[in-house]
């Protein structure tokens, strides 16, 4: 964990409710699947957000406006500085990928998979991606994943684009390991649908984000774990589902 003062260089909508923020001045060194905890002016608690990308000292965060914190965040302008705790959580286990890993993301669960895909491709892996959204207007980063060289499929619940249905309706054959991030019902459906091993990133309301308050605990097969510290990524076989 580090505490960094970063400068906003971009904060623009990707869809009606999803924004992309870019911040410069980042020390770097964080792993795919880790998150940052952002202090927002006027709010007491920090807001945890997954790392979407990290390149040349620029951190990319993608977040959905759902409450007071994200609303406030969406109104911040380039040039403003943010106090950010960085390098939080365990991150994905890249060593488990095998040759052809599958990345499965739903909604605002998609962003951390981008940084993961980039790093896996750097390691010479053949990466397949399935991205699930409710409707075509909510789709983001499809082109970005394709540009990385990922075999990319999109699903929409209403069938307005790509495969009609959920991510589990578009799982490609040939994968032997998956990485996932998305809403709990998606993770549970994937857990049941994919007959091979994998790991999933979880979300929880957090107090500190670095393991001190026990606000975000989750019970696993090996006991109580902090989503912010031992997580947010947990192996499939650790889950009590």
Partner 1 sequence: MVNTRVTLCGIELDNPVIPASGTFGYGYEFAELYDINCLGTFSFKGTTREPRFGNPTPRIAECTAGMINAVGLQNPGVEAVIREELPRLGKAFRKPVMANVSGFSVEDYAFTCALLDREEQVGWLEVNVSCPNVHGGGMSFGTDPASAAEVTRAVKAVTKKPVILKLSPNVTDIAAIARACEDAGADGISLINTLLGMRIDPRTRRPVIANVMGGFSGPAIFPVALRMVYQVSKAVSVPVVGMGGVASAEDVIEMMMAGASAVEVGAQNLVDPFASKKIVEALPAAMEKYGVTSLEEIIGTAH
Residues that bind partner 1 (CB under 8 A): 1, 3, 39, 43-46, 67-69, 85, 204-208, 210-219, 224, 229
CB of 205 to partner 1, least distance (A): 4
Give Cα separations from 5 to 39, 84, 87, 114 (angstroms).
10, 6, 14, 24
Closest C-alpha among 188, 186, 176, 181 to residue 239: 188
Q: In the complex, what is the shortest distance from the CB of residue 213 to partner 1, in angstroms, rounded to a whole number?
A: 5
> Which of 42, 124 has the CB closer to partner 1?
42
The least CB distance from residue 192 to partner 1, in Å, is 22
Report the nearest approach of partner 1 to the CB of residue 206 (Å).
6
Task: Name the region of 156 (left: φ>0; alpha: ψ -120 to 50; beta: rest).
Answer: beta
User: Would you give the DSSP letter of residue 189?
Assistant: H
Kindly tell me which of 4 and 144 has the beta carbon lying closer to partner 1: 4
Is the CB of 27 or the CB of 212 nearer to partner 1?
212
Nearer residue to partner 1 within complex by CB, 197 or 207: 207
Q: Give which of 182, 91, 192, 179 is closest to 138, Cα–Cα.
A: 182
Q: Which residue lies nearer to partner 1 by CB, 175 or 206?
A: 206
- Least Å distance, CB 15 to partner 1, is 19
Q: What angle do CA 39, 233, 1 make, to 5 degrees?
A: 40
Nearest one of 93, 92, 28 to 60, comparing CA atoms: 28
């Amino acid at each position: 964990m580090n505490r960094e003062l970063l400068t906003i260089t971009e904060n623009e909508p990707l869809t009606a409710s999803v924004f992309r923020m870019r911040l410069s001045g980042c020390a770097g060194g964080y792993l795919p699947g880790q998150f940052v905890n952002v202090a927002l002016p006027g709010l007491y608690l920090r807001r945890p957000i997954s790392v979407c990308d990290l390149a040349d000292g620029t951190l990319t965060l993608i977040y959905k406006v759902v409450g007071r914190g994200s609303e406030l965040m969406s109104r911040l302008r380039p040039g403003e500085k943010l106090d950010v705790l960085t390098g939080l959580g365990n991150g994905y286990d890249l060593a488990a990928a095998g040759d052809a890993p599958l990345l499965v993301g739903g909604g605002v669960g998609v962003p951390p998979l981008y940084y993961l895909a980039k790093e896996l491709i750097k390691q010479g892996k053949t990466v397949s991606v399935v991205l699930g959204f409710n409707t075509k207007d909510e789709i983001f980063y499809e082109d970005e994943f394709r540009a990385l060289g990922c075999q990319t499929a999109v699903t929409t619940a209403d069938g307005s684009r790509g495969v009609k249905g959920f991510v589990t309706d578009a799982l490609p054959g040939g994968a032997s390991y998956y990485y996932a991030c998305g809403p709990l019902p998606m993770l549970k459906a994937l857990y049941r649908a994919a007959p091979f091993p994998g790991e999933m990133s979880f979300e929880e309301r957090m107090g500190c984000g670095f393991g001190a308050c026990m606000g975000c605990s989750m019970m696993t097969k090996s006991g109580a774990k902090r989503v912010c510290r031992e997580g947010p990524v947990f192996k499939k076989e650790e889950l009590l589902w």
